Amino acid sequence: MNTVVTSKEEILRVSRALIQEQGWAALNIRSVAAACGVSVGSIYNYFNSKAELLGETVESIWQEIFHQPDNKTPVLDIQVWITSLYQHMEEGNRQYPDFFSFHSFGFVGEDKSDGRRRMQQAWQHILDGLCFVLKHDPKVRSDAFTDQFTPEQFADMLFSLMLSAMLRQNYCPDTILEMVRRTIYETKKFP
């Protein structure tokens, strides 16, 4: 048995592979150690508990699903950005069946607060991206946002709808794109 793991990243890669091949129930310290070919103690050198391993694995899955390459030019079109998010969600669900519902319902109880925190960090990163694009999309009407209706509020609403779509496994962005067109792109018509 190999007693040295080359990196934390390798453990997380193996953990993701276990989830893809055997599902969430397969993820525990012993199974990861066996799949890495190391002792259980070697895993504990990197993770203090199963909850920590699970939390970091979930975070790494979020990053894998939604990470954009650093050298990629930022998309400044909210409709393109949303369509891309939906495509990432669909691909993520193919790679990690039930991931979105698992992490949404799986982090309850004291020992899973770190997992919740990591999930919320991933969500905040997506929300920040939505806000950035909303503020820089040249097609957004100049009067679309006000002090009472901010880009942050609209991004929060859009993201809530996306989370709901994730849980329903509905990866068609047409409804949300139509809402975007009507809310922030088209000229308001007053009676």
Q: What is the pLDDT of residue 106?
A: 53
Q: What is the pLDDT of residue 50?
A: 87
Coil, strand, or helix at residue 56?
helix
DSSP codes of every residue in 40-107: HHHHHTT-SSHHHHHHHHHHHHHHHHHPPPTTSPPP--HHHHHHHHHHHHHHHHHHSTTHHHHHHHH-
Q: Domains of the chain: which residue ranges?
A: 8-47, 58-185
CA atoms within 13 Å, Cβ hemisphere of 75: 13
Looking at residue 169, what DSSP letter applies? T
Asked if the 8-47 domain carries CATH number 1.10.10.60, the reply is: yes
Q: What is the pLDDT of residue 135?
A: 95
Q: What is the pLDDT of residue 188?
A: 59
Q: What is the pLDDT of residue 71?
A: 55
Q: What is the pLDDT of residue 131?
A: 94
- Pair 134, 126: CB distance under 8 Å: no
Instruction: Give CA angle at 7 (119, 43), nearest 5°.
Output: 75
Q: What is the pLDDT of residue 5?
A: 58
pLDDT tens for the chain, residues 1 to 191: 555 556 899 999 999 999 999 888 888 999 999 999 998 999 999 999 888 898 888 888 888 887 766 556 678 999 999 999 899 889 988 888 877 766 555 544 445 566 667 677 778 888 998 999 999 999 999 999 999 999 999 999 999 998 888 888 888 999 999 999 999 997 655 55
Dihedral angle at the C-alpha atoms of 51, 110, 97, 132, nearest 10 degrees? -100
Measured distance CA(188)–CA(143) in Å, rounded:
9
Measured distance CA(130)–CA(6) in Å, rounded:
36
Q: What is the pLDDT of residue 150?
A: 96
